[in-house]
Structure 1
């Protein structure tokens, strides 16, 4: 067991951390104050920059640094090809969504993410410790610039094949994301996010055996037991999202936070109903309705995200869990309602005791 702690210590030294706990970069749920709390405890803060314009990225980094001199990662999705549009299906979706929230205008599906190149430039200017990828591999020229700038690349992978490809492409470490994880799945191919939904305890040792770079475990980790188990299976560190969502610094809607406290693993499910990309969230009334044969199939990302924008906004304004995009991992009930820094320190102290 000492070798498991030694492996974690090597990782911490390489990333300038005091404990091998990374906050997951949850877009829309990683305010600077939450990341600063985790970083001040010795972990790695995070910013899910997917939906942020360049100025918002700069502002986030400035606020983080005002609250912490710790380390943080920023996360981007590798852009998808242009989506195939289906006017008839989108019309059916607008009608269906109008039954759950405000009327959806025809142009809602035209929404596009911020410019990827501009986001990359803003992130280089922000100079995080690491940039993490989802949904594929960064282009070779981008990776070369990361190396020149001394910024680590953390590549999210969901299969052994993806892990080997990311290691060969120059990733400094891999985030092995098990199917238990809340939020979007980082599968390279959107159509494989559900069919290749591998649990962490099968994925993690297989990835560790396949590559010779550090592996960070993600998915279903939300207490000392699961941290220790991940390290025993070969991980050098862990990445935790849902486990921090009930911390006051996360600032999520009370209906969402309260539901996490009682959610059993079977109270979550994979769904494309919010963004068009597969993610795991609480099994709410809207999610169940969208999964019935009578509901029109979700549009691809980012069309579906644009179509559901009004629904999601209304649910948050009204604290209405039944329609809310309430991402949650399968270990949600373990999330403590305590300050994030206390949580991180407590988890690592207890995990060390289990591993000694």
Structure 2
């Protein structure tokens, strides 16, 4: 097994605050694999979080890197900004600058190689051969997030050691190579089986997994481990905001939207998503930067209707346990589910 886990549980990297050194260390200490999120962080901030995590655990952990996509249409972004001006006026803030950037991903890869982080995963694309080679030279296991069998084949050809297979049920951003409606919107179990036939690599299943029986299901379907994100949002070690925690506890429907970031992402349906989801362009990270002041103002005002509330379809299965207890519960319940299935 490439990941060599005592318990087949991976904590999904959740950018924007929820992934913390404390959460990452607690998951790894319990026998799973904790992940930091390099997205939206500076390279030096990533280095600091890596070192902070190392101070908390001697176990292996991972770091996830966002890869850049093509620049979105500037005119479409301008039209979307015009739609949002009334919202900005109500909040008493200026819209953010809708700039494109590459999230300094190459500098972050250099930091991760220098720090000899044991596991590095990539989202939103395929890393170049130089990046993969540098990480391999530093002793890292390289994972690539895929949402289609073709992406899986490309990742295998690029030298990935394992794949994160993300079903459409997953909360947060779609991790595939192309942000196009209808692309990479397979259910997880179907996608796992298609990818397992397409490539001979270890697979980590992600998307809508919220309890032990669902962990058991993906292990039976061919995964080496299950990656869960929403399930960890309620842990005390997570950096999840109070409004987000309250919304998850209240429950509700989820939907895919570009309203907050310009890239498809699954979250709880709220006012902002409902009002702006249909008109938001495919323009990441321009829209992310554009809406950042709006979301910050909504958080300050205690308005959950104005922020992104990322959540997977299985969010109703989540229990707000300490991270280590959650890892152990998931693994124990998965083992029991497998035993029941064999009776």
Question: TM-score normalised to the size of structure 1?
Answer: 0.90
* Superimposed CA distance per residue, residues 116-173 of structure 1 (whole angstroms, 9 cap, x where no aligned partner): 2212111212222211111111001111222222211111000111111111211111
Corresponding residue number in structure 1 for 2:335: 352
**Are positions 1:40 and 2:29 aligned together?**
yes
Tell me which of 211, 216, 221 is aligned to 1:233: 221
In structure 2, what is the Cα distance between the partners aligned to 1:244 and 1:354? Answer: 21
Q: What is the Cα deviation at residue 74 of structure 1? A: 0.9
Answer yes or no: is the 8 Å Cα contact 1:50–1:113 preserved in 2: no
Aligned: 1:130 with 2:116: no
Per-residue deviation, 1:285: 0.8
Alpha-carbon distance change, 302 to 350 in structure 1, aligned in 2, over 3 angstroms: same
Residue of structure 2 equivalent to 1:143: 132
Q: Which secondary structure does the structure 1 equivalent of 2:180 belong to?
A: helix
Give 1:163's aligned residue: 152
What is the distance in 2 between the residues matched to 1:146 and 1:88? 39
Counterpart position of 2:208:
220
Using the TM superposition, give the Cα deviation of residue 309 of structure 1 relative to its aligned residue in structure 2, in angstroms: 0.6
In structure 2, stretches of 5+ residues that fail to align are none
Q: State the 1:180 CA deviation.
A: 0.4
Q: Secondary structure at the match of 1:108?
A: coil
Separation in structure 2 between the aligned mates of residue 326 and residue 55 of structure 1, nearest angstrom: 27
What is the CA distance between 1:340 and its match in structure 2?
0.7
Which residue of structure 1 lines up, in the alignment, with residue 43 of structure 2?
Answer: 54
Written as runs of structure 1 = structure 2, the 5 A alignment for 1:61-140 is 61-86=50-75, 88-98=78-88, 101-105=91-95, 108-110=97-99, 112-140=101-129
Preserved contact between residue 127 and residue 151 of structure 1 (Cα < 8 Å):
yes
Is residue 216–residue 237 contact of structure 1 (8 Å, CA) maintained in 2?
yes
Q: 295, 301, 323: which one pairs with 2:306?
A: 323
Secondary structure of 1:92's counterpart equals helix
- Aligned length in residues: 337
For residue 143 of structure 2, give the secondary structure of its aligned residue in structure 1.
strand
Please tell me whether residue 179 in structure 1 is matched to residue 162 in structure 2. Answer: no
User: Given the alignment of the two structures, is residue 297 of structure 1 paired with residue 280 of structure 2, yes or no?
Assistant: yes
| 3-state SS in 1 of match to 2:213 | helix
1:254 is displaced (CA, Å) by 2.4
Note closer, same or farther for the CA distance 1:103–1:42 as it changes in structure 2 (3 Å cut): same
Name the CA distance, whole Å, in 2 between partners of 1:83 and 1:298: 8
Alignment-derived partner of residue 4 in structure 1: none
Contact kept? 1:32, 1:61, Cα under 8 Å: yes
How many angstroms apart in 1 are the aligned matches of 2:4 and 2:254?
Answer: 35
Aligned-residue offset at 1:112:
3.4
1:174-227 CA-partner distances (Å, limit 9, x unpaired): 1110000000001211124x4431111211111112211111100010100100
Contact conserved, 1:311 with 1:323, CA < 8 A, in 2? yes
The equivalent residue for 2:239 is 251
Correspondence for 1:284 among 266, 270, 273: 270
| Distance in 1 between residues matched to 2:273 and 2:301, nearest whole Å | 17
